[in-house]
Amino acid sequence: MLFAGSGGVSVGVTNGSVVISGATSGAGGIDVTVGGNTSGTLALISTGTLFLAGGNNVTLSQNGNSLTVSAASQTVQTQASGNIGATGFATTSTNGSVIAGTNNTTGFTLGVPPYITTQTNQTLGLYATGNTTQSSSGTVNATALTFNGLGAQTVGISNGMVQLSVPATSSLSGTGAVSISTNGSTISIGVANAGTISYYDNGILNGSANVTQLGQGSVIVQPFPAVAPISISALRQFIQGSFSTSSNSSYAGTLSVQAGIYTLTGSTLSLASSGSQSFGYTQTSNNSSAILTGIKGLTIPLSANMSQANYWMAMWSSTSSQNANWATFSNLCASEGPLTYQGILGSSSSASNQGVLGGGYFSVTSAGLPASIGLSQITGAANIAPFFNIYNVTA
C-alpha cells in the first residue's frame, strides 16, 4: 500500500506507523488583506476555518475548489428633466440624454443635468433722495444699466468702474462794496443798499436863477436821475408874481399847477405819477402885497416810490383872473445864459434840438399834462429847468 503526500502535506512511516504531517504557519494564523470598496475592520485570523459572507447585492457561491463572487446586473436608468411651463412640467429622458417631453402636471424628478429652458429678465429698483432731478424712483433692466450725466456732471466707464466727474470747485470773494453769502446751495451776491431817500432837488442852491414866464397852458420837461430809491409825497416849485398896487385896483385870481413824473421807453416819455393844486389870491390896492410878492413856493401833492433809475419831471400851469388882469406870474428857472444849442454839426438847426435829452417845452399847449410825450415833440430851450424839490410832506 502506497501513501503519497502533496502540497504542504508529507507522509512517512515510523515504527510501523504511517505519519501524515502538514506545515504550520509561522505567525500562527492567516493574514487577511482587503482593498477597494471595503467595510468593517482588518484582523489577523487565527488558525481555523475562514468564512466568507456576501453583502449589498454581492452573492458568493462555491463549486468544488472554486469560489464565485457576483453582483446584480445594472439595468438602463431613466433620468428626468424638468421644463417649467404654463401647464406644469415636461419630463422624459433615456440613457441620460434629454429629449423632448410631454406635459406632466403632477410633478417631476430633476435629473442630470437640471434643465431650464428660458431665462427671464431681471430688474433693479432705483431710488433717488436728497437733491434730486427728474424722477426720484424707477426700475431698469439689470442686464443693461445706463448712466446719464446732466448739467456739469460727466460720466465715463474705465477699467470696469463707473467714473463720475464735476468741474473743480473754486471760491468767490467780494471786493469793494460787493458782498457774497451762501445759504445751502444758493450763492447771493449784492452791494449795500444806499437806502431810500425822501428829499431831492435839482440844484436850487447852486443854480443860476432866472425868472421866466413859461406861458399859459405850457408843459415844460426836464430830466432828473434818481441816484437812490426815492419815496415822496409832494413837489414844490418856485414862482415870482407881479401885482398892481394902484389905489383903485381891486381884483382876484387863481393859479392852477400840475406836476408829473415820466419814465422813458424807447423815444417816448410816459406819465407814471402826477398831482395838481390850485391857489387863489385877492388884492385891493396894496393890502396883500406882503404875502404875494417876492419868490414864493407852490406845494403840489405828488406821491411816488421810485427805484434807482432815470426820470423826467414835467410842470404845467394856467392862470385866471376876476375883474382886471392886474397880476402876472413867472417861474424861477435855471439859466443857460445866452448860449443856445443849435444841433448836430453838419445838420440844420431844428426846433427839436435839445442840449439836454428830453429837456424843453412840449410843442403844443395843453389843458393838462399829456399821458405821453415823444422826444421829437419837445422843443429845446435855453431856460428849460424850473427849480423844484420833492420830499415827504403833507401838501
Please name the residue ranges forming H helices in the chain. Answer: 289-292
Going by their DSSP bridges, the two strands 372-374 and 268-284 should be labelled as antiparallel
- Non-local (6+) Cβ contacts of 177 within 8 A are 191, 192
Q: Which of 145, 104, 148, 149 is nearest to 125 (CA)?
A: 145
* 321 falls within a domain: yes
273 C-beta neighbours (distance < 10 Å), count: 16
* 212 falls within a domain: yes
- Non-local (6+) Cβ contacts of 93 within 8 A are 78, 79, 80, 81, 99, 101, 111
Positive/negative CA dihedral, 84, 88, 90, 91: positive
Q: pLDDT digits over 226-277, tens only?
A: 988 999 999 999 998 888 887 777 888 899 999 999 999 999 999 999 999 9
* 379 falls within a domain: yes
* 378 falls within a domain: yes
* 70 falls within a domain: no
* Tally of domains within the chain: 1
Which pLDDT value is given to residue 100? 47
CA-CA distances (angstroms) from residue 206 to 113, 213, 387? 109, 21, 11
HEC profile of 53-79: CCCCCEEEEEECCEEEEEECCCCCCCC
Q: Are 395 and 233 in contact (CB under 8 A)?
A: yes
Q: pLDDT digits over 78-103, tens only?
A: 655 555 444 444 445 555 554 445 45
3-state class percentages of the chain: helix first, strand second, coil last, to nearest 5 = 0, 45, 50
C-alpha cell at 185: 446751495
**3-class SS of residue 389:** strand
Residue 157, exposed/middle/buried by CB under 10 A (0-12, 13-18, 19+)?
A: exposed
289 C-beta neighbours (distance < 10 Å), count: 14
* 300 falls within a domain: yes
C-alpha cell at 118: 428660458
Q: What dihedral angle (degrees, nearest 10) is formed by the CA atoms of 307, 308, 312, 314?
A: 50
C-alpha cell at 31: 493574514
| Main-chain phi, psi angles of 118, to 5 degrees | -130, 130
| Main-chain phi, psi angles of 269, to 5 degrees | -90, 135
In the predicted model, residues of the chain with pLDDT beneath 50 are 84-91, 98-100, 102, 108-110, 395
Q: How far apart are CA 264 and CA 275, in angstroms?
A: 19
**3-class SS of residue 80:** coil
* 155 falls within a domain: no
Q: Which of 331, 365, 360 is nearest to 255 (CA)?
A: 331
C-alpha cell at 362: 412840449
Which pLDDT value is given to residue 120? 73
Q: Are 125 and 136 in contact (CB under 8 A)?
A: no
Domain that residue 270 falls in? 199-391
* 154 falls within a domain: no
Q: How far apart are CA 308 and CA 74, in angstroms?
A: 107
Q: How far apart are CA 300 and CA 219, in angstroms?
A: 16
Model pTM score: 0.53
Residues in the chain: 395
